Structure 1
């Protein structure tokens, strides 16, 4: 009985041990599983972290590559832009075909095989007057020519023609290379005041000068000061869009001086290099025009701090002696620093260029020889003389 109980107890104990061992195994398995889960979770987080880091790195590399590509593209585009050939300018002599066929070709033809006598000088006087040189300058030129011919004892008509050419060159004495340049200085606000009657090409000249200066790297602003003509304001705005130049304007009929005030103030406060100012082109009342321009000049000086600035007069060269009279009136009212002669490629006879610069004692800064932006050319007296007297 005791032995039976012993075996029974032994079995019971063994079973308990087996249950305990199973529990221990399960516990260990659970701990192992928890450890594995924890490791897997950490590994997963580590993988996600690494994945994110790789993703961020790839994204950064991609952005850097994209940025580099954009920079290269911009550099490439800039290089292409810089290496683009500018429109090839036609030689000036080709642009001056009409004046050359008119005044200058007739001038040369007149001397061919002619005897040097009073009749020749009378014929020359008539041609010079017809070619818009004007009575006073014509008399002066012919008198000087007669003196030089007598002094040098010239006999051949070709020699007299060459002497006349030199006399005409002398009438452009104020057009030195230094005088014909725009006075634009670095590190300060430069003012260009543009005056002239309606219809001479004033607004177009302003737009073309703005484009030239912008292409030279200048920061340019335009003041639409011809407020009496809505068309003038619209034209200036259009030029502003075409050239990417800012325009200051007010409504049609506003006080021009107010526009000039706003433009100069804006230009100074925002560090513009050049302010180009348009003005009203009314000439029917000289007194009103004088008062208006005096007011504008005062505002420019007060706002910019500049006592001296460019004041350019635009003249339509096809108007001949009428253009010279306009020039004289404006020269009395304002301190002109130079002249822009427009439409010189059209029906202009050509001679007007001599009395305008000689009588006013002012240089010609630009000459208009076509519709294109590049056709408002800086005036070079040597190039001009060579062009008009070339075959």
Structure 2
């Protein structure tokens, strides 16, 4: 199965619950006040969010398109388009810090990214900076062994910044390509989390002034609007450069991707649509919207 088919399958709940209905309305009804209200309600229920929903409706009203269905797809792609590609530096190593609440899939995402980079022939170092949980360290060690990445860890309760420093220092000294830092995600104490994440950044910047080159926030799509609130907090705490949206196959509210992009202005860089090691893929706004809006007979118009 190709990734588009897997993406389409992964978004099945969202498509069947909301977006197919939106498509049918726009294809067969005139875009009037009644239609507007129907579309608004479905978008809100799909977790697109109030701000993005109002924007979408306003754009449709401005455009007055003959083909409102195709116009909606173009609007959604426009919202989702951003700096979706990774910001890879010219000098090695490429340092990526992964942040997010516990349970969002952060440690698993770290392992899957390691596997992806290893598949590209890159030498990868994983730093186990979530020293608060021994289970996280053990889980990450398994992922490192599976992918063939170098694993850097200290004892449970150790200084997270010291682990990050050792991981980056090892990569520099050995000429390795990528460093993945799996950080803690204890939002119940925001000040402590802020202090820890900022200290991690300060310490590794002694080795590489521009690191981390990416700060990826891992969000569980199933949490919907709660995920959006998490994103707002992390955006306050640390300079989040991109979103990894996991577990899209487990929710009917895939519209959260649109809410995140519109309300936070943070680009989505990866999405997860399954448990497999290859089910985390770079985010493609066009493919995402096509999969979200495709009818079961696959008769949706192409965006090109």
TM-score, reference length from structure 1: 0.71
Counterpart CA distance in 2 for 1:187 and 1:291 is 28
Alignment of 1:1-391 (within 5 A): 89=3, 91=5, 92-149=7-64, 154=66, 159-174=67-82, 179-185=83-89, 187-307=91-211, 309-391=213-295
Shift of 1:297: 0.8
Counterpart CA distance in 1 for 2:211 and 2:132 is 27
Matched with 1:44 is none
Asked whether the equivalents of residues 131 and 158 of structure 2 are also in contact (C-alpha less than 8 Å), the reply is yes
Shift of 1:308: 5.5
Counterpart CA distance in 1 for 2:241 and 2:200 is 16
Higher relative contact order (CA 8 A, sep 6+): 2
Counterpart CA distance in 2 for 1:144 and 1:89 is 31
User: Which shifted more, 137-146 or 245-254?
Assistant: 137-146
TM-score, reference length from structure 2: 0.90
Counterpart CA distance in 2 for 1:241 and 1:134 is 40
Q: Deviations over 1:143-165 (max 9, x none)?
A: 2222222xx5x5xxxx2233222
Matched with 2:298 is none
Asked whether the equivalents of residues 84 and 269 of structure 2 are also in contact (C-alpha less than 8 Å), the reply is yes
Count residues with an aligned counterpart: 294
Counterpart CA distance in 1 for 2:165 and 2:252 is 37
Q: Deviations over 1:336-380 (max 9, x none)?
A: 111100001112411111121222222211100111111101111
Gaps of 5+ in 1: 1-86
Asked whether the equivalents of residues 4 and 291 of structure 2 are also in contact (C-alpha less than 8 Å), the reply is no
Counterpart CA distance in 1 for 2:91 and 2:205 is 17
Asked whether the equivalents of residues 314 and 339 of structure 1 are also in contact (C-alpha less than 8 Å), the reply is yes
Kindly report structure 1 stretches of 4+ aligned residues shifted beyond 4 Å: 87-90
Asked whether the equivalents of residues 89 and 213 of structure 2 are also in contact (C-alpha less than 8 Å), the reply is no
Asked whether the equivalents of residues 129 and 153 of structure 2 are also in contact (C-alpha less than 8 Å), the reply is yes
Asked whether the equivalents of residues 95 and 211 of structure 2 are also in contact (C-alpha less than 8 Å), the reply is no
Shift of 1:89: 4.5
Q: 1:330 to 1:125 in 2, by over 3 A?
A: same
DSSP 3-state at the match of 1:209:
helix
RMSD of Structure 2 on Structure 1 (CA): 1.8
Counterpart CA distance in 1 for 2:78 and 2:92 is 35
Which one has the bigger helix percentage? Answer: 1
User: Which shifted more, 262-271 or 218-227?
Assistant: 262-271
